[in-house]
Structure 1
Amino acid sequence: MERFSRDETAATWYELTDGQTRSDGVVRAVSAVTGLLPAVPLDGDAGSDDVMDPLASVIDPDALDNLFERSDDGAVTSITFSYHGLSVTVDASGIIRVSPDEATAESPTRTRVPAPECLRETAGQ
Structure 2
Amino acid sequence: MKISGREIIDVLEKYSVLDWYRYPNYVEDSAARRSATVVWRFDAQRTNSERITLIESAIRSALSSAVNVEWDLRYNGRNWILAPEVFVQLELTGKFKKESEVCEKIIRDFPSFFSLAFDDLPLIANAVEEAMRC
So what's the TM-score if we normalise by structure 1?
0.29
The structure where strand makes up a greater share of residues is 1
So what's the TM-score if we normalise by structure 2?
0.28
